[in-house]
Structure 1
Amino acid sequence: MDLFDIDIYADGAVVDDMVEAKERLNVKGFTTNPSLMKKAGITDYMKFARKVMSTVGDLPISFEVFSDDFKTMKMEALKLAELGKNVFVKIPITNTKGESSVPLIKELSEQGVSINVTAILTIDQVKEVVPAFSENTTNIVSVFAGRVADTGVDPTNLMKESVQVVKESKGNTKLLWASCREVLNIKQAADLGVDIITVTTPVLKKLGMVGKDLKKLSLETVQGFNNDVKDLGFSII
């Protein structure tokens, strides 16, 4: 189901949801992160990762490092990369001290690791990290457009500039719109020429509404209110 000219990646840590996204929604890849894993109750990272690998087949999958120090982060990245050729290792743009991860990203890229740089929110961060990738590698730059929008700032200009930076880069670098909040974001990202957008299960389930007649949706909304009135079992007068 290719509703928009963009690759939709399912974002989550519930394996059953991943299976459904692959089989019913034809997603093009998967991502996860520590917050999603915590929410899903994951207790064994590598066991979870191996189960996911058996689920997603050869589709791209991003697993994030857990460490906050770059030495351990590197070891984790190399271990995660060994899971399969379709694995992208997610590295945050900085650690919790605000120290840049770019030197580590450059080092890992030179070793052939495919990287998904995460938690990017500024164009300066995009410009800083893109040149760190080696020409013979495939990488992803994840710009958290949704989190930018949460601050009251329209992320459109940021994403436009990011598209241009990625287009002019060496190697095979893809731009990802992260923190999708609604189906409209998918259209916005596609219209801007973004390569990938990550979409959580609640938003994925709304894809069936694309193109829906709005008058019909209005009626269904009123009917939904009426059903809730009946369930409440009381009246105003």
Structure 2
Amino acid sequence: MKFFIDTADLDEIREANDMGVLDGVTTNPSLMKKAGGSDFHAHIRKICEIVDGDVSAEVTATDFEGIMREARTLAKIHDNVVVKVPLILDGIKAIRALAAEGIRTNCTLCFSPTQALIAAKAGATYISPFIGRLDDISTPGMELIEQIVQIYANYGFETEVLAASIRHPMHVVEAALAGADVATMPFGVIKQLIKHPLTDIGLERFLADWKQYEQQAAAAGDGVGS
């Protein structure tokens, strides 16, 4: 499974990338607003310079011509840019046209298997089902991941399933078990993946025992490592 970070914060992206496990970045207009700045294209370029992997940058147009115009501009920023397109009628038309031009796309705001099927038939590079938002309305979001993975396997679609709107580590585990190709998550969730209370307890015990060992060695007149 590939790990993407869902943020436009350059410091978070650098820190996550330094861990050595980051495969890409997803952004959206809300994340750009949170990160601040005034030059969207320059900001995406900076992200691409940090991470050696796919970087999703979203269009804001909702009509076919506008989506195509913005997508072509975004794709020129860097080879790693994947154009994020909303799952609407003109978005699907644009995904098909962009695929014909060799421009990769991330079809976003997917909430049903039929939407995912249409996106794959249009030639989307990624499909982004929003599992957390489904959970928010008492609908099991992970079932959608399972359905999409099965449908794509049935027909050999090459579109990658990108589990989005991930809220906690169990979402990552469940998405991995369901066969999602990618999980995109906030930096806080990435850090949570490392944490376990038994790891902390075990390390604390080992270090305490080592300190006692050093004291015993010193009392016996032996230097540690001598």
TM-score (norm. length: structure 1): 0.79
Distance 1:86 1:19 in 2: 16
Distance 2:92 2:68 in 1: 12
Distance 1:131 1:110 in 2: 13
Q: Provide the residue aligned with 1:205 in structure 2.
A: 191
Percent of aligned positions with the same letter in both sequences? 32
Decide whether the 8 Å contact of 2:4 with 2:24 is kept in 1.
yes
Decide whether the 8 Å contact of 2:59 with 2:70 is kept in 1.
yes
The Cα of 1:67 is off from its aligned counterpart by 1.7
Long gaps (5+) in structure 1: 1-5, 217-237
Structure 1 position 82 matched with structure 2 position 76? yes
Cα deviation 1:57-108 (Å, max 9, x = unaligned): x3111111122222111111011111222221000102xxxx4521111111
Q: Provide the residue aligned with 2:216 in structure 1.
A: none
Cα deviation 1:13-60 (Å, max 9, x = unaligned): 11111111111252111111100000111321111112112111x311
Structure 1 position 52 matched with structure 2 position 43? no
Aligned residues: 202
Structure 1 position 17 matched with structure 2 position 12? yes
1:154 pairs with one of 114, 128, 140: 140
The Cα of 1:152 is off from its aligned counterpart by 0.8
Long gaps (5+) in structure 2: 202-226
Decide whether the 8 Å contact of 1:30 with 1:61 is kept in 2.
yes
| Structure having the larger proportion of residues in helix | 2
Residue 170 and residue 112 in structure 1: after superposition, are their counterparts in 2 closer, same or farther (change >3 A)?
farther
Distance 1:106 1:170 in 2: 18
Decide whether the 8 Å contact of 2:83 with 2:104 is kept in 1.
yes
The Cα of 1:158 is off from its aligned counterpart by 1.4
Q: Provide the residue aligned with 2:24 in structure 1.
A: 29
1:166 pairs with one of 143, 148, 152: 152
TM-score (norm. length: structure 2): 0.83
Structure showing greater radius of gyration is 2
